[in-house]
Amino acid sequence: MLSLSDIAIVGSYETRLGVVPDRGPMALGVEATLGAIADAGLEPAEVDGLITCNSLVAPVMYHAEATAEYAGMAPGHCLSVGTGGGTTFTALRYAAAAIQTGLAHTVVVSMADSMRSFMTRERAMVVQSSSGHPLYEQPYGPTVPAYYALIAQAHMDAFGTTESQFAEAMVSSRAWASLNPSAQYREQVSVEDVLASKPIADPLKLLDCSIVSDGGAAVVLTRLDRARDLPHTPVMLRGYGEGHHYEHISQASSLIASAAADSGRAALEQAGLHVRDIGLAQLYDCFSPALLIQLEDLGFCAKGEGGDYLASGATRPGGQLAVNTHGGMLSHCHPGNPGAMFGLTEAIRQYRGGAGERQLHDLEHTLLHAQGGIMSSHATLILGRPQ
């Protein structure tokens, strides 16, 4: 059987992002699917696998099949995956596995949603309040920001982390986004700006929270030997890992440590790398404490030192580690479950040398991490150049 490193990403596409009122989730998903196939130098008939993630705004019972239908495709295999924000890399691993086992030879992973333009206020409140356990969490009324505020408070109590240190996540995000023409928000901000923004859930302010966006993206995977005949230099899959410690946060054994430690360790071991070998980290910055804990649990800094690490400027342009060079979910875009897709498409852009002012030179290894639920389902992916 083929190994994971025999699989490569050969196509990538992003739709318009931010506020896209004239295209709904399905239209964006179809555009991304066909755009990625064209970017790979292929025809839709040459794709025999399609994996998608359902829309929160306009869910479809058979989402992958419906996407194929709208796109005029007839792939041999369709799959809809749903693990929240972690879906991107879980779906990518399923795509690679299908190619490794001979189930398919070319697979598209495509995701899109319209959280900004098509999500009503009523629907948004349902989504925000329904992630908790129906018996042990929802009756108390918390929304998603409140759960992440709970995590932030726990980290502050355990390690003395400050609100100013959490605010550094947005400062770093905007510093990168200011260099990215496609970012939804490009205005740089200071720690003081974050602290002065609207309180959401103590200690989190508005600028500690990810933005709300429309948008879609897709990638194409195939065998590395086939990839060498296609237009773009392929991006290799080097390692992958998952971690699942709980589903509902009331069942978490710790609020200051996550299964990112498990998924990151597994991905790095499979790739034969150490965290110090990573030149770019694309992390799931849905809220500032989520970014801080991922930096710790993935090994970029020691447990409890995430606040100091961010405050040092380590993740800003020119810092020790390039993190979310597109601007992340705090500044670039976050259409819900597809949010991590844009960290992936940015990594591909970096490997192709098309990142403009934020281009990293001599990039070899990239770590991408996504998590779904409230720091629940974790997936880590390692990418690299062909050897």
What's the pLDDT tens digit per position in 27-56? 999 999 999 999 999 999 999 999 999 998
Q: Residue 188: pLDDT above 80?
A: yes
Architecture in CATH of 4-119+212-227: 3-Layer(aba) Sandwich (3.40)
pLDDT at 130 over 80: no
What mean pLDDT do residues 172-186 have? 98
Burial state string for 220-244 with b = 16 or more CB within 10 A and e = fewer than 16: bbbbbeebeebebebbbbbbbbbbb
Tell me, what's the pLDDT at 134? 86
Whole-angstrom CA distances from 81 to 50, 54, 61 are 11, 7, 12
In the three-class reduction of DSSP (H, G, I as helix; E, B as strand; rest coil), residue 279 is classed as coil
Instruction: Sort residue 324 into left (φ over 0), alpha (ψ -120 to 50) or beta.
Output: left
Region 197-201: mean pLDDT is: 97
Percent of the chain past pLDDT 90, that is, above it, reads 88
* The token pair that represents 312 in the structure block: 């040092």
> Which range, 80-94, 118-132, 232-246, has the best average confidence (pLDDT)?
232-246
pLDDT at 131 over 90: no
The pLDDT score that the predictor gives to residue 121 is 76
- Edge-to-edge, what's the strand order for the sheet holding 49-52? 77-80, 49-52, 106-114, 214-223, 7-14, 235-244, 377-384, 365-372, 280-282, 322-323
Number of C-beta neighbours around residue 354 at 10 A = 9
Structure tokens given for 318: 């020119």
Q: What mean pLDDT is reported for the chain?
A: 95
What's the pTM value of the predicted model, to 2 decimals?
A: 0.96
Mean pLDDT, residues 146-153 taken together: 96
Q: Where are the domains of the chain?
A: 4-119+212-227
Burial of 275 (0-12, 13-18, 19+ CB in 10 A): middle
What are the tens digits of pLDDT across the range 109-126? 999 999 999 987 777 777
Identity of residue 141: G
pLDDT band at residue 143 using 50, 70 and 90 as cut-offs: confident
In this predicted structure, the answer to whether residue 357 has a pLDDT above a threshold of 80 is yes
Q: In this predicted model, which residue has the larger pLDDT, 110 or 134?
A: 110
Segment 163-190 mean pLDDT: 98
| C-alpha separations of 121 from 57, 116, 125, 130 in Å | 11, 10, 6, 14
Instruction: Write the pLDDT tens digit of every residue in 245-296.
Output: 999 999 999 999 999 999 999 999 999 999 999 999 999 999 999 999 999 9
Question: For 303-355, what is each residue's pLDDT tens digit?
Answer: 999 999 999 999 999 999 999 999 999 999 999 999 999 999 999 999 999 99
Q: Which residues contact 14 (CB under 8 A, 6 or more apart)?
A: 32, 35, 182, 215, 216, 217, 342, 345
Helix pair angle (87-100, 341-352), 10° resolution: 60
User: Residue 127: which pLDDT band, with cuts at 50, 70 and 90?
Assistant: confident
Identify the helix (H) or strand (E) that includes residue 66: helix 63-71
